[in-house]
């Protein structure tokens, strides 16, 4: 089933994550998914289910891969919960492409609409009626009322919704104890507050268990018809597999939490041995590292601790093998971040700004680099509040902007790419990786 809402801030993450946790506590094997490019919510989904949180984004990977990626992630599970993004019909531009509704149609899945009822009662029926009838291809099959203030408030909402024919599957009371801290780019990632996050997910599970009709929700999920297609295979779109099992080190830990599960799967399918390291704690790269991936995250929050790990930064700066960096990884490779020394691998400085750069991008490579080839197009996503100052032409350009650095052994850009949409990127990285003896 798909958990959607009329708008952001209605309680989708509360309901989706709590539902995952509540069902898992009852012995259900739950497959967690998130519509869109978001990295943070899937971290909480993973805690709730014990499985990797996976994204479903038609813009990043193509419509044709949504069902295969879904089937790949849901293998061996009893039920899948898909958390939506923004409002149900909000996607790229005014077309609704890559919206929650778009993904629900591709999966032919029933939609549960989470409605914030805090400042309304009878009007919730008009909201639900509008969403249920706006697109007949989308089946809004249930409602969960959020922020209910009293028994009387709940009765008014339920009575009004009875006229719509859309059943109420839950009513959640206001609960100040259920709180997840936020900052400049949304929720604080689960990896940065693991013990607190585990406790928070447990509280969400308890909240949903006592507020929602779990048997009715499970029955609703079973109304989704069988999907036609085959599960995605990480090696299915790779032209070749690199021999020799080069070690590709992937940055992780609290500072670098942004990454799609399929990236590591593709690296392994391309022939790499993947070793995860934590730039906040590990003083050297994993033994035998022949390639390096530094994805996104929050290095700006952890800049002082990253800078204190001088030995590792010196290794990264002098690393002679291929490096792929995105967003937070780009910042880590700069000379400095808000005046704090970073690796210095790039001739650039980075700083926080009040401006949020957010949105899908149609990018074209102006020249070749480790991952890119001149003239190739890439669909990506930009999400940051920093600015990198550097001279020279950017590696990638898109309408209204561009950025990036690149050479034969480097691609570093703000743009987040989903490698399942372009598996050749993993292949290029692994085929450029070598054993340490060949890198000297």
Residue of 77, 157, 212, 327 marked catalytic: 327
3 state SS for the chain? CEEECCCCCCCHHHHHHHHHHHHHHCCCCEEEEEECCCCHHHHHHHHHHCCCCEEECHHHHCHHHHHHHHHHHHCCCCEEEEECCCCCCCCECCCCECCHHHHHHHHCCCEEEEEECCCCCCHHHHHHHHHHHHCCCCCEEEEEEEEECCHHHHHHHHHHHCCCCCCEEEEEECCCCCCCCEECCEECCHHHCHHHHHHHHHHHHHHHHHHECHHHHHHHHCCCCCCCCCCCCCCCCCCCCCCCCCEEEEECCCCCCECCHHHHHHHHHCCCEEEEECCCCCCCCCCCEEEEEECECCCCCCHHHHHHCHHHHHHHHHCCCCEEEECHHHHHHCCEECCEECCCCCCCEEEEEEEEEEEEEEEEECCCCCCCCCCCEEEEEEEEEEEEECCCCCCEEECCEEECEEECCEEEECCECCHHHCCHHHHHHHHHCCCHHHHC
Assess whether 327 carries a catalytic annotation. yes
Q: Which residues are catalytic?
A: 327
């Amino acid at each position: 089933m798909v958990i959607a809402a009329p708008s952001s801030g209605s309680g989708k993450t509360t309901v989706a994550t709590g539902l995952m946790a509540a069902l898992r506590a009852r012995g259900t094997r739950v497959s967690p998914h998130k519509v869109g490019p978001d990295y943070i919510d899937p971290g909480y989904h993973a805690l709730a289910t014990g499985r990797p949180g996976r994204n479903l984004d038609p813009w990043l990977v193509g419509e044709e891969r949504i069902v295969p990626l879904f089937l790949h992630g849901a293998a061996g599970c009893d039920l899948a919960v898909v958390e939506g993004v923004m409002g149900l019909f909000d996607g790229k531009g005014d077309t609704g492409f890559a919206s929650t509704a778009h993904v629900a149609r591709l999966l032919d899945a029933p939609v549960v609409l989470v409605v914030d009822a805090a400042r309304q009662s009878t009007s919730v029926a008009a909201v639900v009626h509008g969403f249920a009838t706006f697109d007949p291809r989308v089946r809004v099959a249930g409602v969960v009322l959020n922020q209910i203030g009293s028994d009387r408030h709940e009765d008014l909402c339920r009575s009004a919704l009875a006229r719509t024919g859309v059943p109420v599957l839950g009513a959640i009371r206001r609960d100040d104890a259920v709180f997840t801290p936020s900052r400049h780019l949304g929720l604080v990632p689960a990896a940065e507050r693991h013990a607190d996050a585990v406790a928070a997910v447990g509280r969400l599970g308890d909240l949903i268990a006592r507020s929602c009709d779990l048997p009715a929700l499970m029955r609703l999920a079973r109304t989704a018809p069988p999907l036609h297609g085959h599960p995605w295979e990480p090696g299915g779109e790779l032209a070749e597999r690199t021999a020799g099992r080069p070690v590709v080190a992937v940055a992780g830990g609290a500072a670098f939490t942004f990454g799609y599960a399929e990236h590591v799967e593709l690296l392994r399918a391309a022939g790499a041995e993947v070793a995860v390291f934590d730039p906040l704690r590990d003083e050297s790269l994993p033994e035998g590292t022949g390639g390096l991936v530094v994805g996104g995250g929050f290095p700006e929050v952890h800049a002082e601790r990253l800078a204190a790990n001088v030995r590792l930064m010196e290794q990264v700066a002098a690393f002679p093998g291929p490096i792929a960096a995105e967003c937070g990884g780009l910042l880590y490779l700069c000379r400095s971040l808000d005046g704090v020394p970073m690796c210095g691998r790039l001739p650039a400085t980075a700083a926080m700004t009040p401006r949020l750069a957010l949105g899908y991008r149609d990018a074209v490579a102006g020249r070749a680099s480790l991952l890119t080839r001149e003239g190739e197009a890439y669909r990506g996503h930009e999400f940051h509040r920093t600015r990198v100052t550097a001279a020279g032409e950017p590696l990638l350009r898109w309408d209204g902007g561009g950025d990036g650095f690149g050479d034969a052994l480097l691609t570093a850009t703000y743009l987040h790419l989903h490698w399942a949409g372009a598996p050749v990127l993993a292949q290029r990285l692994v085929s450029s990786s070598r054993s340490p003896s060949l890198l000297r």
